[in-house]
Amino acid sequence: MNQFDDIRPYHDSEVPAVIQRLLNDKELIETIIAFRFPKFPRWLRIFVRPVIAHALSKELSDVKTVLQVQQICSQYLDQVIEKTSPKLTFSGLENLQQNKPYLFISNHRDIVMDPAFVNYALYHNGFDTMRIAIGDNLLQKPFVSDLMRLNKSFIVKRSASGIREKMAAYMGLSSYIHHSIEDGCPIWIAQREGRAKDGIDQTDPAIIKMLYMSQKKGAQSFSEYINKLNIVPVVISYEYNPCDQLIAKELQQKFETGKYEKEPGEDMKSIVTGIVGFKGHVHISFGKPLEDSYQDAESVASAIDQQIKSDYVLHPSNYIAASLLSQSELQLSTEINQEKYDAFIQRLEKCEESTRPYFLALYANAILVGENGKKEKA
């Protein structure tokens, strides 16, 4: 086995076999039916299975390369964006060079759509698509792992237990990211483990320490290596988080009991909800590559956070939530008009009374926690 075989994306030579495995996966067919036809009763799904299986075989049987897989994914992503994100904007790409391998470190609000939106922006502006870090906690079903690794995802072993196993996993991840950048392949990784469900975007210095682990015995200093990685902070701001009600319930339970136990299939539910749910205006801001003298991981994390805070595009939903949570008067304007206000209140009223403070905090913390610097009109 080669060094990174257990975590890397699939190679072109492996694509046909993986496609065939997916076509024979009954659980994948069931998931597609549930995704496409959520209101269908179970007895009716029996008659839909062969139709879906045939359509899937027709679409995928001639796929031989990762590029072909991504071209198919791009078509579906176009449809998702058209239905769920009526306004999609980008900024900062002028700071980047095409064909240069960047390490994109991004805030994290949605499991699938965060890197999908970033990839969409890069792909449609002539940049190479990224290799995407994804936690193995989301890959409990074999077909999910296959689909992700076909689409340039690599595995972060979050399930590793014990100090030695964790250190080996971090070292492998660090080495793979180094290998990818050296090989000219851009990388996407979240600024912290898991989504920022409370709406507070903050880089975990442990992520930065992990990046340097594979280089500690080399000739490069910490600062030299950080600069060599071409780190670019990326901030994704959603007008609406499709999982906001689910997240509000989780945060409430954590606050009241000190823990939260996920139900079976909850990660998959969050993935599907994040994809098909309404997002409103989505903005992706690409920062400037980090170029400075850095003493430690904390200084790098701080530099990333500064750009993420300054480049975060605030939406009417953020201002309305901040006003309601802080009980301050909200001045309506052309950007925050009555229609926007009413739409947000209707969304809020779908929450149980006890979860509403957590729902509001998810949107309000972009304003209430720290100063975001530049606040562009949404």
Question: pLDDT tens, 131-184?
Answer: 999 999 888 889 999 999 999 999 999 988 889 999 999 999 999 999 999 999
Q: Of 33 and 208, which is predicted with more confidence?
A: 208
CATH of domain 12-313: 3.40.1130
Nearest-angstrom CA–CA distance, 140 and 145: 8
Instruction: Annotate the chain with three-state secondary structure.
Output: CCCCCCCCCCCHHHHHHHHHHHHCCHHHHHHHHHHHCCCCCHHHHHHHHHHHHHHHHHHHCCCCCHHHHHHHHHHHHHHHHHHHCCEEEEECHHHCCCCCCCEEEECCCCCCHHHHHHHHHHHCCCCCCCEEEEEHHHCCCHHHHHHHHHCCEEEECCCCCCHHHHHHHHHHHHHHHHHHHHCCCCEEEECCCCCCCCCCCCCCHHHHHHHHHCCCCCCCCHHHHHHHCCEEEEEEEECCCCCHHHHHHHHHHHHHHCCCCCCCCHHHHHHHHHHHCCCCEEEEEECCCCCCCCCCHHHHHHHHHHHHHHHCCCCHHHHHHHHHHHCCCCCCCCCCCHHHHHHHHHHHCCCCHHHHHHHHHHHHHHHHCCCCCCCCCC
Which of 33-37, 71-75, 215-219 reaches the highest mean pLDDT?
71-75
If pLDDT is split at 50, 70 and 90, which confidence band does 336 have?
A: confident
Residue 1: per-residue pLDDT: 55
**Is pLDDT above 80 for 373?**
no
Residue 370: per-residue pLDDT: 58
If pLDDT is split at 50, 70 and 90, which confidence band does 199 have?
A: very high
Residue 198: per-residue pLDDT: 94
Q: Where are the domains of the chain?
A: 12-313
Q: pLDDT (tens digit, 9 = 90+) per residue, 245-259?
A: 999 999 999 999 998
If pLDDT is split at 50, 70 and 90, which confidence band does 375 have?
A: very low
Residue 334: per-residue pLDDT: 73
Q: pLDDT (tens digit, 9 = 90+) per residue, 260-319?
A: 888 887 888 899 899 999 999 999 999 999 999 999 999 999 999 999 999 999 999 999
Q: pLDDT (tens digit, 9 = 90+) per residue, 57-115?
A: 999 989 999 999 999 999 999 999 999 999 999 999 999 999 899 999 999 999 999 99
The pTM score is 0.92
The amino acid present at 274, given as its one-letter code, is G
Q: pLDDT (tens digit, 9 = 90+) per residue, 221-234?
A: 999 999 999 999 99
What is the mean predicted confidence (pLDDT) over 177-197?
Answer: 96
The rounded radius of gyration (Å) of the Cα atoms in the chain is 21
Residue 118, judged by CB atoms within 10 A of its CB (0-12, 13-18, 19+), counts as buried
What is the mean predicted confidence (pLDDT) over 1-27?
Answer: 93
Least confident of 24-28, 237-241, 242-246, 302-306: 24-28
